Amino acid sequence: MLKRAIYLFIALVLPLLSFGNDDTHKLFVKGNDYYAKAQYKEALNTYHKILDEGYQSSVVYFNMGNANYKLDDIPSALLYYEKARKLNPGDDDINFNIRFANLKTTDKIDAVPEFFLARWWRTFILSFSIETLSILSIVLMLVGSALLILYFFADAVLVKKASFYAAISLFFLGLLTVFVAGRQLNYFEDHREAIVFSSSVNVKSGPGERLNTLFIIHEGTKVNALETSNGWEKVRLANGNEGWIKATDVREI
């Protein structure tokens, strides 16, 4: 339980530190300059240096997706768009670019219809970025604490009542944002996803080359990774079809 709480705290606070290092910010600006000059490979190399420094940012991943798209590397573009989405799932630009890039993939797979309450809940918890939730939770807790202090020191009964109930409400909303952040983290932990990078992949009935081929998928297709066995990955498509592919054929998001 304590380990989980620490992990959640890191996930909430770490985004606030993004680009806190001046050198990292300079790299980001340099990468953007390369991109603006259509030097996409140089831009990617610069963005990779930011990742090598240990920083994660939806903006960096999004720009890397754009650079790869310009280079017509659709699997890599989708990989980095999806990485950006994990950090900022409610961003309209990220979600639009994912849909747009998917138009260039071979496989057009219809998702299994989802029960409306499950769809509503998923949409709700993925409407905000971890960064937004972290800032919001901190602000709510700080303002709630200030109102609680006011409650203890105020003389007027009306002020004491108003500050007390307002503080309780803000504390509740602050805890709600932390809860939503936790549900979002759980969602991405429970949904290990990957992008196919091989041009054509035979999906087998089991973890073995000689087993029956169930169907074929192509580069750029997103799959849910279910389990790993001896260099093979059991995957599920959006339409519910399952099978085994070589682990080297995909890169995890």
Query: Given its phi and psi angles, is residue 32 left (phi above 0), alpha (psi -120 to 50 degrees) or beta?
Result: alpha
Domains 2-102 and 193-252 share a fold: no
As to burial, measured by CB atoms within 10 angstroms (0-12 exposed, 13-18 middle, 19+ buried), residue 153 is: exposed
Q: Are 243 and 190 in contact (CB under 8 A)?
A: no
Q: Are 201 and 217 in contact (CB under 8 A)?
A: yes
Q: Are 90 and 133 in contact (CB under 8 A)?
A: no
**CATH superfamily of the domain spanning 193-252:** SH3 Domains (2.30.30.40)
Question: How far is the CA of 82 from the CAs of 37, 79, 99, 237, 251, in angstroms?
Answer: 25, 5, 11, 16, 11
Q: At what angle do helices 157-190 and 130-153 cross, to 10 degrees?
A: 160
Question: In the chain, which stretches have pLDDT less than 70?
Answer: 1-21
Domain locations in the chain as residue ranges: 2-102, 123-190, 193-252
pLDDT at 16: 47
pLDDT at 55: 85
Q: Which CATH class is domain 2-102?
A: mainly alpha
pLDDT at 186: 87
Cβ neighbour number for residue 134 with a 10 Å cutoff = 21
Q: Which amino acid is at 35?
A: Y
Residue 170 C-alpha from the chain's centroid: 27
